[in-house]
Amino acid sequence: MAVRGIRGAISVEADEPDQIRDATRELIEEILKRNEITDYDDVISAVFTTTHDIVSAFPAEAARLIGMTTVPLLCSQEIPVPGSMPKCIRILLHVNTERAPSEIEHIYLREAARLRPDMKSAQ
């Protein structure tokens, strides 16, 4: 089994705690489902980033609420590049998996799908 990184992103309409938690949960659940990860023990760690306009809640809260209580989680802020997408939550999951790098599905949802139009799995 190898350690792989899985990337994803999702946007929110407003900097509201419920929207941040709901969007983050949606993103995590879709990443896990699409990559057939059924056990949180296979998740080594997760790094979340938010754009500067998301400050009312930690995305990691959503991970804890769905049961990722033993996974090391870290939140940080994206660098504020002029013209970058606003109200965006990104994640990098480190997981144990049998999948080859070419088989990993990186997930981009809502407006964040515009970040990676080259990804066939962007939604």
Antiparallel, parallel or unpaired: β 43-50 and 73-77? parallel
Q: Which of 26, 40, 61, 78 is catalytic?
A: 78
From 16, 29, 64, 103, the catalytic residue: 64
Q: Which of 7, 13, 16, 30 is catalytic?
A: 7
For residue 31, the Cα-to-chain-centroid distance in whole angstroms is 8
From the list 25, 40, 75, 111, the catalytic residue is: 75
90 is catalytic: yes
Q: In the annotation, is 116 catalytic?
A: yes
CB 48 within 8 A of CB 74: yes
Q: Is 110 a catalytic residue?
A: no
Q: How many C-beta atoms surround the C-beta of residue 48 within 10 A?
A: 24
**25, 34, 99, 116: the active-site residue:** 116
57 DSSP assignment: S
| Catalytic-role residue among 4, 21, 90, 110 | 90
- Report the helix count and the strand count for the chain, using DSSP H and E: 2, 5
The residues annotated with a catalytic role in the active site are 7, 64, 75, 78, 90, 108, 116
